[in-house]
Structure 1
Amino acid sequence: MNTQDWHDHVIGKGLAVAGCTALVLTLTSAVAQAQPRDAARQTLAAGDGWGSHGTGTTGGATADAEHVYTVTTWAEFKQALADGGDAPKIIKVKGTIDAVSEGCEAFVTGGYDLQQYLKDYDPAVYGNDKVAMGPQEDARVASMANQDSAIKAYVPSNTTIIGVGEDAAILGGSLQIKDVSNVILRNLTIEAPLDCFPKWDPTDDDNTGNWNSEYDTVVVYGSDHVWIDHNTLTDGRYPDSERPVYFGKVFQQHDGLTDIVRGSNYVTVSWNSYEDHDKNMLIGNGDGLATTDGGKLKVTLHHNRFDGILQRSPRVRFGQVDVYNNHYVVSADQKFDYVWGVGISSQLYATDNAFSLAEGVSVGKVLKKWNESPLTAENNYVNGRLTDLIAVHNAEIPGETLQSGAGWTPALRTKVDPARAVPAIVDHRAGAGRLR
């Protein structure tokens, strides 16, 4: 073989190898593109609400194989939360897990008996001038402590909790995101915990008495960088409409669905479905908490659906809260108090939302005022029509005149959909089992 032949031979082989390599790379790329993304390692996108501020929210995206768990029972779920401390972890919930599988009877202690409790604290017998005290109240407190220990699950920092498939659910558990950072909660149907042992307070409600319950479904307490996405949160099997009435008051067994309190900050709540509940979402839970909540409670709510919700979607204190592209549905046969609560030092910025209100539902009641805190409420649509919610509120409820102008403009927003298109977009995509 002469020099030229040898040169052509080598070049030919090189071209062939290069061609094969290119083909392999092309096929590899095609296979990679065909693989479904791992939603368990997905992080909150840049610019997607307050949760993306600063370091962003990544949850357990970087977890190693040792810290990826698949759980099918409540005990396994709590153990997975406890394992590994704050090391990044991913917990995949498969199927339905029940935190109260043995029923309320499993928590009873000290001789607690509801019928005896009702006899002992009947206002006709006990009166309304002092709080409940005595053996039955002591037994109620002890029984409540048993339930508290069983159903509360504490979520550590750097954790992603995600449902597997379309039917993952948690029943009766209370998820405590407390004093931690960097948590993601996605793709779960979560049925609100039922308080087995509500407290009767004879002195509540201007000394007419009232029932009070514990256990938020999801509580974000003193925590930062949290993303709550594509979940369905509901009273499920135990709607408030079916709770009994004692002493003329509803036997209240539910508290909040998603409360964000005690200096929590940088939270994005997106693409969730909130259904059939009374006290939905508090952002800031006390007027006297300026030292802990002032300058914090920065929360974004977008593309969520609220249906059958009585109040607090959300009620806001202190925080710069951005509310856009949400769909609020109020039917003719449901109780309804208000949607957005304007509380002390709140800076609510609510635009491009859609409301589907049944005939006869007051548009002015969409807003409720507790304190003199201006808000921005623009480009919102009611039953397909552009509506100035502040103007309507002030006209219908003159004793609660609201001022316009929250004093800030959100910078962390993804694509803002036209408000008239929001019902179709959100109803089709919000809630558990609808991750794309």
Structure 2
Amino acid sequence: MESPAVPVPLDPREQPILERLLRTRDALLLLKQDKSSYIKSRDVLPLYEEVIGEVEKLNAARKEQDRRLIHNRLDYVLDDCFQLISLLFLTVGRNNEAPAVYSLATTIQRLLDHLEEAGFYSAKDLNSITKTLESTQETLDRGRNTYSPALLTLLESRLEQCQISLKRLQEGLNVLSPSLAQTHETLVSILRSTSAVNTRPKFSTTEVNSLRDQLKKIESHMKDGNFVDADGNVLPSQENVKTLMDRCWRWTETVLERQGKIHEAFQEQYERLLEIRNQLDRLSVTQAWSLRETDLFGYQRKLDRIDEARVNGNFVDAEGHTADLHAQRTLLYLIRRSYGYIYALLISSEPVSEALLPVYNQLQTLRRCLIEVKESGGVSNSRELYPYSMKLNSIDNMRVDGKFYIGPDIPEGQGSVNALLAECYDLVWDLRAAVADEESQP
């Protein structure tokens, strides 16, 4: 679980805290791994309280110490505990509560660090993260009177670091000429598409050449090596775009030359990252039906450890030699892509307990079908609505006093499921009313 280079706590007051947190982490991992029953809030909250109690003791022990202390094993175990609690809160449907924010905040920081390191990104990348940070801040603000100040201080510090990194990246885009924004976005897409082709099971020379054709098309609109407007005037602030263009040419050449084959010294790292990326890709397709948010913990930890094993930002082989440009960029692409998948899975998590997800997913599917029927012109007679009405009634009949029970429990997310059920009823009513209006007309 830990990197072998992580030091043990030097302060004797921290050792008992570490031992207790190790026991709590074991309990959290057992809860995560138990697929025999649904996870419930009452399973998670006592473990959350245990972690917060240890954090308060740790803060008291470190109060007089230098805050720039190197992270020791206790910090890593504490991070594991918060990650697990955060994912467990999402699993039980408590997405809009402060503890659920932790995993998302750490993933966003990883993404921002990688975007800055890569040196190329688009406004779309930053827009999504900006909105997510705003909503997570709102979640923290709502939890001020409910959750421990120790937790809120920790989360606010994480979000503040994210905001600092985000501002730096936004400033990098602000220097671009507005006239070149679309070209810049296209070049970012070409770089990423080239990296994607580079990691496919079967390398496609045709795809890379197609991307090079796009570069030629962009280049054809340049004049004397410069980007110009419709009147032939040189556009300002174009150095970054020209550098990105040159990078696209060199990367497509390198990828064509290597034909998707990575240096053998880095083959093992490549295969590990490729498997993580592919598993997360599959999860992103089936996540509504198969994802238990706590499953993401294993992927996060594997990625974190691979990322942290780099030396001065470089991947190194078993003998300590740094990776060549092709291997370095390929491995970094796979890490970034994997963190991107985790981010997308976290923000798409529904505020509904896993116990209610089967019902919620059925209603989501029903809603989509009804919207498609409505947008395609409705139904010709009310009998066509019978299958939808019967399905809605069967779900509605599962409720007792307006609530969905799973055994004796009332899982989180009742409001979301009931709102979706009401929306489906409204769609059926609208479709039925439209048929009745048509039948009443002479």
Q: TM-score range by the shorter chain?
A: under 0.3
Provide the TM-score with structure 2 as the length reference. Answer: 0.23
Provide the TM-score with structure 1 as the length reference. Answer: 0.23
Structure with the bigger percentage of helix: 2
Higher relative contact order (CA 8 A, sep 6+): 2
Structure with the bigger percentage of strand: 1
